[in-house]
Amino acid sequence: MVLLERHSIYKITLTAILLVALFTGLPKNALAQKQESMEGEFGIYYNVYDGYYTTSDGEKHKERLCEGRAWYLQFIYTWWLNKYIGCSAGGMFIKGSKISSSWTDGDKYYSFDDSPFHINAVGEFRVALPLVWKFGLTLNVRLMFSPIPIDVISYSVYQGMGKINHTTEDFPYATRHKISDKSHYLFTRFNLGGIVNAGLYFDIRGKDRGARITLGYGIGSYDIYNSVRLAKTDGHSLAEHIPSSRRRYIHNVFICLTVF
């Protein structure tokens, strides 16, 4: 756990440095913008994965193992080219729901239990269309990737038969004892993702400044468990023991606050 927490701190720090360098390095006349805004967004990603389990006779069966929920918090800066079109850049923190899996290899028992955490760089192209009064529609295309393509996964290895630290009727003297806790660093291949969002916004305008509140929904492609799928443990691929990657489409519900 200490290794995971330390790794997350390193990712947050390096990502913050990259974002600061991006914003401070842009020339003031880079986009000849009419207006600029800052935005904070909170939302939930949701998708369903197909998983597999193996019975005692060795047959493999498919079942729905995990509803891949994840919450995210995003902060971006937008350069508006005019009243309707803007380009954005920023960062996002994603915390996935816990995923658990276990399997045996001879007299060894492997246990994996983790909640994925990702830090992404985000780029968006957006369109805002005023409707009536202070209401309007917004549409944006979001691309995201991991600027630090390194992640760490951890798992435990036990040895013996029966339940962990418990006897069984079949094996009254057999227990599984933990051999070690292991961690692996791996290359995430930047974990690219893309989402199209649509929302209804309400403008709150003042004399000099204003704000905008948006509620919306999106759909796209992003794999929350990408890092886990790429990992191998003692010759075993974790992709064989966690939800399948065949269904990667993702749904998104969010609330957003924009300050001009």
Per residue in 62-103, pLDDT (tens digit) is: 555 555 688 999 999 999 998 899 999 999 999 988 777 777
In percent, the amount of the chain with pLDDT more than 70 equals 68
Q: What is the mean pLDDT of the chain?
A: 76
* CB-count exposure of residue 229 (10 Å: 0-12, 13-18, 19+): middle
Mean pLDDT confidence for 111-128: 89
Residue 231 has pLDDT above 90, yes or no: no
User: Domains of the chain: which residue ranges?
Assistant: 2-102+113-151+191-259
Enter the DSSP assignment of 17: H
20's CB contacts (< 8 A; 6+ apart) are none
258 pLDDT tier (thresholds 50, 70, 90) = very high
pTM of this prediction? Answer: 0.73
Helix ranges (H only) for the chain are 2-25, 226-230
Per residue in 6-50, pLDDT (tens digit) is: 455 555 555 555 554 444 444 444 334 468 999 999 999 987 655
Q: Label residues 64-93 b or e (16+ Cβ within 10 Å = b).
A: ebbebbbebebebbbbbeeeeebbbbbbbb
144 pLDDT tier (thresholds 50, 70, 90) = very high
Identify the CATH assignment for 2-102+113-151+191-259 out of 2.40.160.20, 1.10.10.10, 2.10.240.10, 2.30.30.180: 2.40.160.20
